[in-house]
Amino acid sequence: MTAIQSSDSTDRSFGSLMGEVTRDLSTLVRQEVELAKAEIREEGKKAGKAAGMFAGAGIAGHMVLLFLSFALWWGLSNLMDQGWAALIVAVIWAVAAAVLFVVARGQLRAVRGLPQTTQTVKDIPPALKPDTGAF
């Protein structure tokens, strides 16, 4: 009788252990999904700011190029030929646009992706393998 009772308690214990493993695995997956969502929101904000800066740089560059280049071209044409004045104005605003582009690109490169989620997902498979070296 003792052997039968021991077998029944082992079965229940194994079943409860499997239930715990299933619950823990489910919790782990939910936590990983939440971590991924949080990281995506955080990095998305950074990417959105950089994209806004690109747009701002484009609009500002266009408006500056349009209005101030006419004024500068007109002012320089009093000192030299209109063609040379136009070329000088174009080069000045090309340099300004290049600087804005480089700054925005640098900020966009600062977006890191999902480093924590990537690392924790890499750590999961070894945690699920049985420990054979303990005995």
Question: Which tens digit of pLDDT belongs to each residue from 58-112?
Answer: 998 888 778 878 898 899 999 999 999 989 988 988 898 899 999 999 998 988 8
Distances (CA, A) of 102 to 13, 53, 71, 95: 63, 11, 26, 11
Q: Is residue 134 part of a domain?
A: no
Range of the domain at 60: 2-123
Q: Is residue 60 part of a domain?
A: yes
Q: Is residue 128 part of a domain?
A: no
40-59 per-position pLDDT tens digit: 988 899 899 999 999 999 99
**All residues at 6 or more sequence positions from 121 whose CB lies less than 8 Å from its CB, including other chains:** 32
Number of domains the chain is built from = 1
Q: Is residue 47 part of a domain?
A: yes
Cα atoms in the 13 Å half-sphere on the side-chain side of 91 = 6
Q: Residue 103 phi/psi, 5° resolution?
A: -65, -45
Q: Is residue 100 part of a domain?
A: yes
Q: Is residue 132 part of a domain?
A: no
Pair 111, 44: CB distance under 8 Å: no
